[in-house]
Structure 1
Amino acid sequence: MRALTNNKEEGRGKKEEGRNKSYPSSSFLLTPPLFNPEGDDSIEHREIWGGNSTGLMNLNNCKFQWAIALYRQMLENFWIPEKVDLSQDANDYKVLTDDEKQAYKGILSYLTFLDSIQARNLPNLSKQITAPEITLCFAVQEFQEVLHNHSYQYILESVIPANERQGVYDFWRSDEILRKRCEFIASIYQDYIDDPTTTKYMRSLLADYLLEGLYFYNGFIFFYVLASRHLCQGTSDVIRYINRDEMTHVNLIQKLLTNAGISSEMLSVDEIQAMFAAAVEYEIKWTNHIIGNRVLGITEASTEEYTKYLANLRLKAIGVPALFEDVRNPYQHLERLADTGAEGNVRADFFEVTVTSYNQSTSLDGDWNF
Structure 2
Amino acid sequence: MDNLDNSIMRDAANFPFNEFTRPEVQERPNQEAHWLHAKKLFNPEGNDSIQQRRIIKGNPTNLFNLNDVKYQWANRIYRWMMSNFWIPEKVDLSMDMLDYNQLTPGERKAYDGILSFLVFLDSLQTNNVPQIADYITAPEVTLVLSIQDYQEAIHSQAYAYVIESVIPAARRKNVYEFWRKDKTLFERNQYIAQVYQDFIDHPSDQNFIRVLIANYLLEGLYFYNGFMFFYTLASRSICSGTSSMIRYINRDEYSHCILFENIIRSVREEYPTMISDDMVLAMFDRAVEQEINWSRYIMGDDVVGINSRTIESYTKWLANERLKSLGYLPLYPDYDHNPYMHLDKIADVSGDGHVKSNFFESTVTSYNQSSAISGWDKF
Q: Return the TM-score normalized by structure 2.
A: 0.86
The C-alpha deviation readout for 1:212-253, integer Å capped at 9, x for no partner, is 010000000000000000000000000000000001100000
Q: Does 1:94 align with 2:127?
A: no
Query: What does 1:81-230 align with in structure 2 at a 5 Å threshold?
Result: 81-230=88-237
8 Å Cα contact 1:340/1:346 also seen in 2:
no
The C-alpha deviation readout for 1:91-115, integer Å capped at 9, x for no partner, is 1111100110110000000000110
CA distance in 1, matches of 2:164, 2:280: 39
| Corresponding residue number in structure 2 for 1:313 | 321
Q: Does 1:258 align with 2:273?
A: no
Query: What does 1:281-292 align with in structure 2 at a 5 Å threshold?
Result: 281-292=289-300
8 Å Cα contact 1:35/1:56 also seen in 2:
no
Runs of 4+ in structure 1 off by over 6 angstroms are 340-347
CA distance in 1, matches of 2:345, 2:200: 41
CA distance in 1, matches of 2:264, 2:350: 33
SS of 2:47 mapped into structure 1: coil
CA distance in 1, matches of 2:220, 2:21: 19
8 Å Cα contact 1:346/1:358 also seen in 2:
no
Aligned residues, how many?
Answer: 344
| Corresponding residue number in structure 2 for 1:42 | 49
Task: Give the 3 Å change call, closer, same or farther, for CA 215–342 of structure 1 in structure 2.
Answer: closer
Identity of matched residues, %: 51
SS of 2:303 mapped into structure 1: coil
In the alignment, structure 2 segments of 5+ residues that lack a partner are 1-19, 357-365, 375-379
Task: Give the 3 Å change call, closer, same or farther, for CA 262–278 of structure 1 in structure 2.
Answer: farther
**1:44 deviation in Å?**
2.1
SS of 1:43 mapped into structure 2: coil
Candidates 235, 239, 258, aligned match of 2:242: 235
Amino acid at match of 1:272: V
In the alignment, structure 1 segments of 5+ residues that lack a partner are 1-5, 11-15, 348-356, 366-370
The C-alpha deviation readout for 1:54-98, integer Å capped at 9, x for no partner, is 121122211111100100111110100000000000111111001
8 Å Cα contact 1:199/1:266 also seen in 2:
yes
Task: Give the 3 Å change call, closer, same or farther, for CA 9–324 of structure 1 in structure 2.
Answer: closer
8 Å Cα contact 1:25/1:198 also seen in 2:
no
Amino acid at match of 1:33: K
CA distance in 2, matches of 1:100, 1:156: 15
CA distance in 1, matches of 2:117, 2:22: 37
Task: Give the 3 Å change call, closer, same or farther, for CA 222–343 of structure 1 in structure 2.
Answer: closer
Amino acid at match of 1:312: N
8 Å Cα contact 2:21/2:258 also seen in 1:
no
The C-alpha deviation readout for 1:42-63, integer Å capped at 9, x for no partner, is 2222211122211211222111
**1:325 deviation in Å?**
1.9
CA distance in 1, matches of 2:251, 2:273: 34
Please say which of residues 157-166 and 265-274 is displaced more in the overlay. Answer: 265-274
Task: Give the 3 Å change call, closer, same or farther, for CA 342–312 of structure 1 in structure 2.
Answer: closer
Task: Give the 3 Å change call, closer, same or farther, for CA 73–28 of structure 1 in structure 2.
Answer: farther
CA distance in 2, matches of 1:115, 1:218: 15
The C-alpha deviation readout for 1:144-164, integer Å capped at 9, x for no partner, is 111101100000000000111
| Corresponding residue number in structure 2 for 1:277 | 285
CA distance in 2, matches of 1:7, 1:160: 40
CA distance in 2, matches of 1:100, 1:7: 37
Amino acid at match of 2:72: Q
**1:116 deviation in Å?**
0.6
The CA RMSD over aligned residues, in Å, is 2.4
8 Å Cα contact 2:232/2:343 also seen in 1:
yes
8 Å Cα contact 2:164/2:172 also seen in 1:
yes
Q: Return the TM-score normalized by structure 1.
A: 0.88
Amino acid at match of 2:168: P
CA distance in 1, matches of 2:312, 2:57: 40
8 Å Cα contact 2:21/2:325 also seen in 1:
no
Task: Give the 3 Å change call, closer, same or farther, for CA 301–9 of structure 1 in structure 2.
Answer: closer
CA distance in 1, matches of 2:134, 2:228: 34
SS of 1:333 mapped into structure 2: helix
Please say which of residues 27-36 and 309-318 is displaced more in the overlay. Answer: 27-36
Amino acid at match of 1:339: D
**1:38 deviation in Å?**
1.6
CA distance in 2, matches of 1:341, 1:39: 39
